[in-house]
Amino acid sequence: MSRNISSSRKRNDKTNPDLDEYPPPRRKSRAVKAGNVIIGGGFPVSIQSMTNTDTCDIPATVNQIHQLEEAGCEIIRVAVPNEMAAACLGQIKKQISIPLVADIHFSHKLALNAIKEGVDKIRINPGNIGDNRKVKEVARAAAEAGIPLRIGVNSGSLPEKLSKKYSHSDPRAFVTAALDEIELLEKNNFKNIVISLKSSNIACTLAAHKILAQQVDYPFHLGITEAGTEFAGSIKSAIGIGSLLATGIGDTIRVSLTADPVREIVVAKQILKALNLKKDGIEVISCPTCGRCQIDLIDIARSVEEKTRHIKTPLKVAVMGCVVNGPGEARAADVGIAGGAGFGTLFAHGEILRKVPEKELEQALLAEISRLTGEDI
Ligand code: SF4
């Protein structure tokens, strides 16, 4: 029976996807410039985060932004809860080199002050910014300053009329909130817009983006709001953000974690790398280990990943437990190791370099990575 089924199945190579073209073409979106970063328009998907310092503590905020920038953050947003915080933005901006975004809720006056301080972008929340006249005023000031506005729709703060009509995880509420705000801005000839539709519900997030993507060409800032702690939130974000990116939707991403914001950058970079949307830096390919592994591979893999995170040169590094799949994977990588009994084999570009005692294996691999990338480890 099984032979009949298998013999009746016809191979059709034409239906095989060309995996070299993965991920699929990106949605065409208009290009919006925030400082020196272009969001949308086919430009690389940028990574952003948000500080969790008191914005008025300028040294602490600048210090955290520098740490985030070092980790790979390309756009930074700070909370602007009051006039004092707004007044600090100019000084913060002077000390950093990535675009600064002011996160505004409730008060359009804070948005106007932030624009005067020279920020590169404003995030406003249509659910709480107030009446249309106030939004118009912000749009006029942003147009004069030549900076974009992000319409940040969020499940926790949908406009009242929509939260009464729809449940907080109904994609129609998100799409309607965004379209209402877009209409208002467009009526005022303002089109320098980025949109985010953030729900803590993945299905809602996916549906809302897919609906809105058919109606507007503004770039999308992706994120899953209130995603959770580092482990759970990373998985939820990877599924939500990754599912959209895998269908070509998304122009900039923020992974929201209840953790040090530097971890958000680490996770965001990993999501982009997994989808082939980011090629710089070290990619560690490591096996899960099994009963054949005779070296402490878990520690070596973790340590190599940590110690090479700062490297920008693209390099594939294989860390494999044994000779079953080890040399095969290691040879396909730029450099790698395969474990043995108390020793390991070091490979580079498909060639065996040498056998190394287990306790020198990590160091030998790191030295080879350093040699190939020209970077200190
Ligand atoms: Fe097991 Fe070797 Fe495969 Fe690692 S490479 S999972 S040790 S068989």
| Residue nearest atom 2 of ligand 1, based on CA coordinates | 322
In angstroms, rounded to a whole number, what is the distance separating the alpha carbons of residues 45 and 42?
8
pTM: predicted TM-score of the whole model, two decimal places = 0.88
363 burial level (CB within 10 Å; 0-12, 13-18, 19+): exposed
pLDDT above 60 (res 375): yes
- Per-residue pLDDT tens over the stretch 319-371: 999 877 766 666 678 999 999 988 899 988 878 899 999 999 999 999 999 99
Tell me which amino acid residue 314 is.
P
Strands (E), the chain: 32-34, 37-39, 46-50, 75-79, 100-104, 121-124, 149-154, 193-198, 221-222, 252-254, 282-286, 315-320, 335-339, 343-348, 351-357
What would the mean pLDDT of 184-195 be, rounded to a whole number? 95
286, 290, 331, 337: residue to mutate for ligand 1 pocket, most atoms within 8 A of CB:
290
pLDDT above 50 (res 195): yes
| Residue nearest atom 1 of ligand 1, based on CA coordinates | 290
Instruction: Tell me the percentage of the chain whose pLDDT exceeds 90.
Output: 78
Residue closest to 224 by CA, chosen among 189, 250, 184, 253: 253
Q: Which atom of ligand 1 is nearest to the CA of 290?
A: 1
- Per-residue pLDDT tens over the stretch 3-42: 444 445 555 555 555 555 567 789 999 999 999 999 999 9
| Residue ranges around ligand 1 (CB below 6 Å) | 287-290, 292-293, 320-322, 324-326
Confidence of residue 52 (pLDDT cuts 50, 70, 90): very high
Q: Tokens standing for 93?
A: 């901006």
- Per-residue pLDDT tens over the stretch 65-114: 999 999 999 999 999 999 999 999 999 999 999 999 999 998 999 999 99
Distance 161 CA to ligand 1 centre (A): 57
b/e 225-250 (16+ beta carbons within 10 angstroms → b): bebbebeebbebbbbbbbbbbbbebb
Dihedral angle over CA of 371, 372, 375, 377, nearest 10: -60
**Same fold flag, 21-274 and 282-373:** no
Bond before 99 cis per omega within 30 degrees: no
Distance 349 CA to ligand 1 centre (A): 20
In angstroms, rounded to a whole number, what is the distance separating the alpha carbons of residues 267 and 227?
13
- Per-residue pLDDT tens over the stretch 218-268: 999 999 998 999 999 999 999 999 999 999 999 999 999 999 999 999 999
pLDDT for the residue numbered 225: 93
CATH fold, domain 282-373, is Sulfite Reductase Hemoprotein; domain 1 (3.30.413)
Q: Which atom of ligand 1 is nearest to the CA of 329?
A: 5
pLDDT for the residue numbered 331: 67
DSSP 302: H
Cα angle vertex 252, ends 333, 178, to 5°?
Answer: 150
Q: Tokens standing for 17?
A: 């996807």
CATH fold, domain 21-274, is TIM Barrel (3.20.20)
Q: Tokens standing for 217?
A: 């060409």
pLDDT above 60 (res 151): yes
pLDDT for the residue numbered 157: 81
| Residue nearest atom 6 of ligand 1, based on CA coordinates | 289
286, 287, 296, 319: residue to mutate for ligand 1 pocket, most atoms within 8 A of CB:
287
| Domain boundaries of the chain, sorted by first residue | 21-274, 282-373
pLDDT for the residue numbered 351: 83
b/e 29-60 (16+ beta carbons within 10 angstroms → b): bbebbbbebbbbeebbbbbbbbbebebeebee
Distance 294 CA to ligand 1 centre (A): 10
